[in-house]
Amino acid sequence: MVLDLENVTLKRDDVQILQNINWQIEQGEHWVLYGLNGSGKTALLDIINAYNFPTSGKATVLGLTFGKVYLGEELRKRIGFVSASLQGKIYQTDNAFEVVLSGAFASIGLYQTPTDEMREKASGLLEELGCIGYANREYGTLSQGERQRVLIARALMADPSILILDEPTNGLDFIAREQLLDSIEKLANKANSPTIIYVTHHIEEILPVFSKTMLLKSGEVYASGQTNQIITSEILTNYFNIPVHVRWENDRPYLVKNK
């Protein structure tokens, strides 16, 4: 079991942010975590990352159960995380190669001397993510899509068991988005891929490789299970409280609002 959340709740200043979350992720599964703005996605990810501690319930991530000892640091070495907040922390003048290398040390910026092996691995990841053409460019000069690729390569430097992509297509145009999704699909289909948790509020980004989906609404699990049983016109009409229709094209769902 990669993740096991049992009745997890999170309260802050008397506000119930998450309620009775149950979520089990098995080895080899890739999941979409879907929810509207403010539904609690980031709060939930912060529990998985051990930045938030459940107010009640039980959280076990990669076999480590929170509560007895503080496990955050040990855990975070095994979880790759790509998010908007990480994006903002990277030094603009570091080149793409250095940004990827820094992932081996889990640092922002490069302070230790990387081994030849690390350099080779970073090159391989830049190649795999399609970034080799701008390996020597400063991070600050890269487009949004190029930055996301570099950050995914950086996250993979540490061979994480879980890779969390928190809204990775934000700010991308159609072409850049589809190209990034192609890379994510390739990665997810590899035999040694980490378990991917793909966080989004766009239905059309749910790739076939994400066979499981969790719908979060107002801090609660609204529905969770096989993607094709969750992403249906009926469930989403109730979820949004407006009539919608799901159309599948090439194994991907598209959402249409009914008149």
Ligand X SMILES: Nc1ncnc2c1ncn2[C@@H]1O[C@H](COP(=O)(O)OP(=O)(O)O)[C@@H](O)[C@H]1O
Of 19, 30, 39, 181, the one binding ligand X (CB under 6 A) is 39
Residue 51 touches ligand X, criterion: CB under 6 A: no
The one-letter amino acid code at 30 reads H
142 versus 215: smaller Cβ distance to ligand X: 215
H helix or E strand, kind and range, residue 97: helix 96-102
Residue 168 touches ligand X, criterion: CB under 6 A: no
Give me the least distance between CB of 12 and ligand X, in Å please.
4
**Footprint on residues 24-43 left by Mg ion (CB under 5 A):** 41-42
Residue 83 touches Mg ion, criterion: CB under 5 A: no
> Would you say 41 and 52 are in contact if contact means Cβ atoms under 8 Å apart?
no
Give me the least distance between CB of 125 and ligand X, in Å please.
27
Per the DSSP assignment, residues forming a β-bridge with 255 are 246
Residue 202 touches ligand X, criterion: CB under 6 A: no
Residue 87 touches Mg ion, criterion: CB under 5 A: no
Taking alpha carbons only, the member of 221, 205, 214 closest to residue 254 is: 205
Give me the least distance between CB of 42 and Mg ion, in Å please.
3
Residue 247 touches ligand X, criterion: CB under 6 A: no
CA atoms within 13 A on the CB side of 47: 30
3-state SS, residue 145:
helix
Residue 240 touches ligand X, criterion: CB under 6 A: no
Total residues in contact with Mg ion, by rule CB under 5 A: 2
Residue 15 touches ligand X, criterion: CB under 6 A: yes
The one-letter amino acid code at 40 reads G
Taking alpha carbons only, the member of 90, 98, 176 closest to residue 140 is: 90
- The position carrying tokens 């988005």 is 177
Per the DSSP assignment, residues forming a β-bridge with 214 are 33, 224
Q: What is the 3-state secondary structure (H, E, C) of 2-39?
A: CEEEEEEEEEECCEEEEEEEEEEECCCCCEEEEECCCC
Total residues in contact with ligand X, by rule CB under 6 A: 12
Residue 38 touches ligand X, criterion: CB under 6 A: yes
38 versus 67: smaller Cβ distance to ligand X: 38
Tell me the pairing of strands 195-200 and 31-35.
parallel
Residue 43 touches ligand X, criterion: CB under 6 A: yes
Name residues whose C-beta falls within 8 Å of residue 187's C-beta, 6 or more positions apart in sequence: 128, 129, 152, 156, 163, 193, 196
Give me the least distance between CB of 230 and ligand X, in Å please.
17
Give me the least distance between CB of 23 and Mg ion, in Å please.
17
User: Residue 40 touches which of Mg ion, ligand X, none (CB < 5 to 8 A by kind)?
Assistant: ligand X
Binding site for ligand X (CB under 6 A): 12-13, 15, 17, 35, 37-43
